[in-house]
Amino acid sequence: MAQEIDFKNIEQNTFRQSQQDGLMELVMGICMLAISTRMFSRFLIFMLALPVFLFGPLLALMRRRFTHPRIGYVKLIPDKPKSVIAGILLVTLVVIAVMAVVFFFFGNIRDFNLWLRWCPFWGGTILAGMFSSLASKSGAIRYYIFAGWSLLSGIVLSVLDFETVETGTLLYFAVMGSLLIPFGLVQFAIFLRKYPKPGQEVLDGQTGN
């Protein structure tokens, strides 16, 4: 049992070290803020889809530029795509089922605008599940904070009544982006200070002499 606990701690520490640059939060926050400003598209479906496809390449590009030259690169075993997709679909189906029951008894289940109004709740639940998974893999408390904030924001912005049904969804992404970007910037600044680029540390030492 002790070996299993130690092995889990090693896995969590390795994953936590791989995320210490803050770039995941920073890039995710930028994408969310871009969604909230309709930078990518006026249409909701494209507005949500494009940043998802840009997130991975942009994060990989920034890590090749800033992270890997400083602390090296270790390829972690990724989650199985089928498991990730299955988890997202499961959460989505559960949320839709809960919303359908609530709308059936307390609203109009055929009202498309009502479904759009509660999109922040759906998105907040999905992201809360993702952050909870990251918290479990890393043991980092900040991901639990992100998860709680995501779920709470999704609920509040779905309950509030706005003039247009998309406003709540746009505000949700703005709220999440405004939380993740500052945190990512602070983490990134700490990372750069803690791990100077090879050669820069020598130059700094010579300058000090």
Within its chain, how far is the Cα of 46 from the centroid?
19
Q: Do 25 and 180 form a contact (C-beta atoms < 8 A)?
A: yes
Taking the alpha carbons at both ends of the chain, their separation in whole angstroms is 52
Q: What are the C-alpha distances in Å from 93 to residues 132, 149, 150, 205, 209? A: 18, 22, 19, 57, 63
- Distance CA(16)–CA(36), nearest Å, equals 29
Predicted confidence at residue 29, as pLDDT, reads 94
Predicted confidence at residue 87, as pLDDT, reads 73
- Cα Rg, the chain, nearest whole Å: 20
Give, for all 209 residues of the chain, the pLDDT tens digit.
445 556 778 778 888 888 899 999 999 999 898 888 875 555 666 666 767 788 889 999 999 999 988 888 776 666 555 565 677 778 888 888 888 998 888 888 888 888 888 989 988 999 998 899 899 888 889 999 999 999 999 999 999 988 888 889 899 999 999 999 999 999 999 999 999 877 655 444 445 55
Phi/psi of residue 197, nearest 5 degrees: -65, 135
* Domain range list for the chain: 2-208
- Distance CA(193)–CA(191), nearest Å, equals 5
Q: Which amino acid is at 83?
A: S
